[in-house]
Chain A
Amino acid sequence: MAAISKRLGALSVFSLLAGWAGTAGAEMALNFPEPAAGVAQEIYDIHMLTSAIATVLLVIIFAFVGYSLYYHRKSRGYRADQRFHETWFGQWSWIIVPILVLGIDLTIAGSAQKTLEKVWEVPKGEDLLDVKVIGHQWWWEYEYLDHSVEIDGKPKPVRVESRYLPEDQAGEDTAGYLRAVDNPLVLPVGKKVRFLHTSADVLHAFWVPELAVKKDAIPGYVTETWVDLTREGRFSGQCAELCGTWHSRMPIEVEVVAEAKFKAWMEGQKQTMLAAAAEAAMDKDWTMEELMEKGRANYNTKCASCHQINGKGLPPAFPALTGGAIVTGPIPAHLDIVLNGKAGTAMVAWNTLTDLELASIITYERNAWGNDTGDLVQPRDIKAARTLAVK
Chain B
Amino acid sequence: MSTATIDLEHHGEHEHHGPPKGLKRWLFSTNHKDIGTMYLIFAFTMLFAGGLSAMAIRVELFLPGLQLLEPDLYNNLVTNHALIMIFGAVMPAAAGLANWMIPLMIGAPDMALPRLNNLSFWILPAAATMLILSFIVPFFPGGGTQINTGWTIYPPLSVQVGMSMDFLIFALHMLGISSVLASINIIVTIFNMRVPNMTMMRMPIFVWTWLVTAFLLILVIPVLAGGITMLLFDRHFGTSFFNAAGGGDPVLFQHLFWFFGHPEVYILILPSMGVLASVVPTFSRKPLFGYSSLVGAMIAIMIIGMVVWAHHQYTIGMSLGAVSYFMIGTIIISIPVGLMVFNYIATMWRGAMTFETPMLFAIGILLMFSFGGLTGIMLAVVPADMQYHDSMFVVAHFHYVLMPGAVFGLFAGVFYWLPKWTGHMYDEKLAKLFFWINVISFNITFFPQHFIGLAGMPRRIVDYHAMFTEFNVISSIGGIVFGLSHLLLLYIVIKTVRGGKQAENKAWEGAKGLEWELPSPPPFHSWTTPPKLAAS
Contacts and interface: CB of A to CB of B under 8 A. Distances in A.
Contacts of A213: 386
- Of B144, B349, B386, the most chain A CB neighbours within 10 A belong to B386
A94 B458 contact: no
* Secondary structure dominating the interface of A: mixed
A346 B346 CA distance: 56
A241 B150 CA distance: 10
Interface string B342-353: 110110111111
A239 B335 CA distance: 35
Contacts of A3: 466
Given A32-B454, A43-B384, A215-B317, A65 B367 contact: yes
Nearest to B332: A105
Given A93-B290, A119-B386, A242-B148, A16 B474 contact: yes
Contact of B352 (A78, A112, A241, A245): A78
Nearest to B315: A216
A30 B455 contact: yes
Interface string A232-269: 00001111111111111100000000000000000000
A221 interface: yes
B328 A109 contact: yes
B18 interface: no
Interface in A44-77: 46-47, 50-51, 54, 57-58, 61-62, 64-65, 68-69, 72-75
A115 interface: yes
- Of B156, B285, B458, the most chain A CB neighbours within 10 A belong to B458
B339 A248 contact: no
Contacts of A19: 470
A119 B288 CA distance: 46
A352 interface: no
Nearest to A207: B458
A271 interface: no
A177 B465 contact: yes
Given A75-B354, A78-B352, A94-B293, A65 B363 contact: yes
- Chain A contact patch, size range: 35 or more
Contact of A220 (B142, B244, B339): B244
A353 interface: no
B515 to A, nearest CB: 21
B72 to A, nearest CB: 5
A209 B456 contact: yes
A84 B381 contact: no
Contacts of B324: 113, 116
Interface in B283-317: 284-290, 292-293, 296, 315-317
Contact of B466 (A31, A104, A177): A177
Contact of B317 (A82, A219, A223): A223
Interface stretch (A197-205, A366-374, A378-386): A197-205
Interface in B322-338: 323-324, 327-328, 331-332, 334-336, 338
Contacts of A119: 383, 386
B378 interface: yes
Given A28-B467, A65-B363, A47 B352 contact: no
Contacts of B287: 82, 85
Contacts of A182: none
B445 interface: no
A265 B14 CA distance: 90
A203 B157 contact: yes
A223 B316 contact: yes
Interface in B348-371: 348-355, 363, 366-367, 370-371
Contacts of B382: 112, 116, 120
A324 interface: no
- Chain B contact patch, size range: 35 or more
A80 B345 contact: no
B374 interface: yes
B154 interface: yes
Contact of B342 (A93, A102, A179): A93
A387 B338 CA distance: 65
B360 to A, nearest CB: 11
Contacts, number: 312
Contacts of A116: 320, 323-324, 327, 382-383
A31 B284 contact: no
Nearest to B342: A97
B145 A80 contact: no
B455 A98 contact: no
B377 interface: yes
Given A47-B384, A73-B352, A93-B290, A68 B251 contact: no
Contacts of B250: 203, 218-221
A242 B75 contact: yes
- Of B320, B331, B363, the most chain A CB neighbours within 10 A belong to B331
Contacts of A239: 458
Nearest to A113: B324
Interface in A80-118: 80-82, 84-85, 90, 93-94, 97-98, 101-102, 104-105, 108-109, 112-113, 115-117
Contacts of B317: 197, 215-216, 218, 221, 223-224
Given A1-B65, A112-B384, A33 B160 contact: no
Interface in B453-506: 454-456, 458, 460-467, 469-471, 473-474
A282 interface: no
A218 B349 contact: no
Contact of A64 (B154, B331, B345, B354): B345
Given A113-B327, A247-B462, A248-B462, 18 more contacts: A28-B470, A28-B471, A29-B455, A30-B451, A43-B383, A68-B353, A74-B285, A81-B286, A93-B293, A93-B346, A109-B327, A120-B383, A178-B464, A202-B154, A205-B389, A207-B456, A218-B251, A316-B145
13 contacts: A64-B345, A68-B351, A68-B353, A74-B353, A97-B342, A108-B381, A113-B328, A177-B64, A202-B156, A203-B156, A220-B245, A242-B148, A244-B160
Interface of A: 1, 3-4, 7-8, 11, 16, 19, 25, 27-33, 42-43, 46-47, 50-51, 54, 57-58, 61-62, 64-65, 68-69, 72-75, 78-82, 84-85, 90, 93-94, 97-98, 101-102, 104-105, 108-109, 112-113, 115-117, 119-121, 176-179, 197, 201-203, 205, 207, 209, 212-216, 218-221, 223-224, 236-249, 314, 316-317, 344-346
